[in-house]
Structure 1
């Protein structure tokens, strides 16, 4: 792909015949307005999106946006890299607001209390993305991540909301903490990153696995192997836009309207028709987020 192409939005894919949802997106990080993004997505059969919060400001925005748009549902949380940032003042955390002074555990408690308040709102359908990220946060931040993750699990259970998990290079500990705390009724592994063996563990526990555009990447055979063994009733599709744009558009900005590209690739991996995959993920997403 020529470098200049990276600034050109990918073309609209052929519309899906069966409408689906983007189970995980970040409209607040995309260049278009919410209205433009939703209209473009709807034009290709992506009629619902789940807007995901990653910090306090983003979670408030997600809740407000979902309240204003019937086709948007919200989740609220402190991203795993945001928790140590709050406690330690870590400049390498999730937020792009620049370095901040350490706040300590009391600041984390205050932030979690606000997430708890937002989670009670009817338009908020999930608590997340929360979990563990050992790629970006080092050992000094792991205690804050774990404390935050455990608190989010409790919030999700108390409000009967889906738990949306960010799991980056932390599979064993994420699964362990879910066992120790007792998982909510509905758990979604966003941007599923495990292998086929982990998919079997998730399936046995009834956890949803949401696949993103990276399932199309050449170096992601482990994701395709996982999808091939994942039960059809536990599979979701997402963009994680503006990240993880599916091939052949990798390197350009992602957006909900590109869901059909990923879904068609998933159908091929799972050896089912496009309509069958779309029907399954549409029903699964509604069940996962309770709408």
Structure 2
């Protein structure tokens, strides 16, 4: 048995879900092992579909290639909100870990053109994760983030794809941009982090809210309050793996097979049977990402 302080040891598999669901947001390229191993481990506990999300050009291309190879994988492609300022301004901490030199607006235009090309592919079901992130990007990057966000919204609408939102410390501005540009018919707030009042605003516009491991953390009652006021037909679940591992495994590696832990915590918050919530999540995921029942 692994020592309790071994934060590198993967948590044990949970009991399988009786009704299969999808992990609506994961990063298999950042997880240990092969994608085939991760998908098999997830399927064994009732997580039969995943949305593989790109954060930059290499990651978005990889997501599209993986979705073409595995029928249980659907791709989302985008420049993460922090990626756009890196392309324009340069930054030593890009997603690849390699130093970036300033590329100016031409670099952003070229990257957006590639995202546009990828978004046209059949296996790409969403444009994202895009949005705004004021936690890691300073004031000099805000306008660049907003322009990138607006361009992603346009790409999603033109290709008829879902829009996957990354919103960190930018709730009001994200909503303002969505309303100003006109949100796509299918808009998903990945790893929802707002409060109950914001959840009500999202519900008014028919946006989907995807809940991840933080909804299980003891200190996050406001997040559970937000879940409680979200219409059941707008609730999704995700891992954002390898990040945001649910309680009681917080700090250890996350992966799609841990979705049942979060689903059961959400069911308890909502006072629903696990099977009822899982059925709703499965139907919502199909609707949000334009999937047929056979693709779940």
Partner of 1:73: 74
Matched, 1:283 2:283: yes
- Rounded to whole Å, the distance in 2 between the matches of 1:277 and 1:44 is 16
- Rounded to whole Å, the distance in 1 between the matches of 2:192 and 2:265 is 15
Partner of 1:139: 139
Partner of 1:247: 247
Partner of 2:205: 205
Give the superposition deviation at 1:6: 1.1
Structure 2 unmatched ranges of 5 or more: 292-296
Which 4+ stretches in 1 moved above 3 angstroms?
1-4
Partner of 1:217: 217
Give the superposition deviation at 1:92: 4.1
Give the superposition deviation at 1:86: 0.2
User: 1:92·1:136 contact (CA, 8 Å) conserved in 2?
Assistant: no
Give the superposition deviation at 1:91: 2.5
Aligned residues: 290
- Rounded to whole Å, the distance in 1 between the matches of 2:265 and 2:54 is 27
Partner of 2:27: 26
Kindly provide the CA deviation profile for residues 130-172 of structure 1, in whole angstroms up to 9, marking residues without a partner as x: 0000000010111110110000000000000000000000000
Matched, 1:259 2:259: yes
Give the superposition deviation at 1:100: 1.0
Kindly provide the CA deviation profile for residues 238-288 of structure 1, in whole angstroms up to 9, marking residues without a partner as x: 000000000000010000000000000000111111001100000000100
- Rounded to whole Å, the distance in 2 between the matches of 1:64 and 1:100 is 25
- Rounded to whole Å, the distance in 2 between the matches of 1:199 and 1:82 is 27
- Rounded to whole Å, the distance in 2 between the matches of 1:2 and 1:32 is 21
Give the superposition deviation at 1:32: 1.3
Partner of 2:122: 122
Give the superposition deviation at 1:194: 0.2
Kindly provide the CA deviation profile for residues 89-130 of structure 1, in whole angstroms up to 9, marking residues without a partner as x: 02345x133221100011100000000000000000000000
User: 1:75·1:124 contact (CA, 8 Å) conserved in 2?
Assistant: yes
214-223 vs 127-136, which deviates more? 214-223
Map 1:52-71 onto structure 2 (within 5 A). Answer: 52-71=53-72
- Rounded to whole Å, the distance in 2 between the matches of 1:127 and 1:219 is 32
User: 1:25·1:50 contact (CA, 8 Å) conserved in 2?
Assistant: yes
Structure 1 unmatched ranges of 5 or more: none
- Rounded to whole Å, the distance in 1 between the matches of 2:172 and 2:91 is 25
Give the superposition deviation at 1:3: 5.8
Give the superposition deviation at 1:2: 5.6
Kindly provide the CA deviation profile for residues 161-185 of structure 1, in whole angstroms up to 9, marking residues without a partner as x: 0000000000000000000000001
TM-score by length of 2: 0.96
Question: 3-state DSSP class of the match of 2:6?
Answer: helix
Partner of 2:294: none
- Rounded to whole Å, the distance in 1 between the matches of 2:245 and 2:75 is 22
- Rounded to whole Å, the distance in 1 between the matches of 2:279 and 2:92 is 42
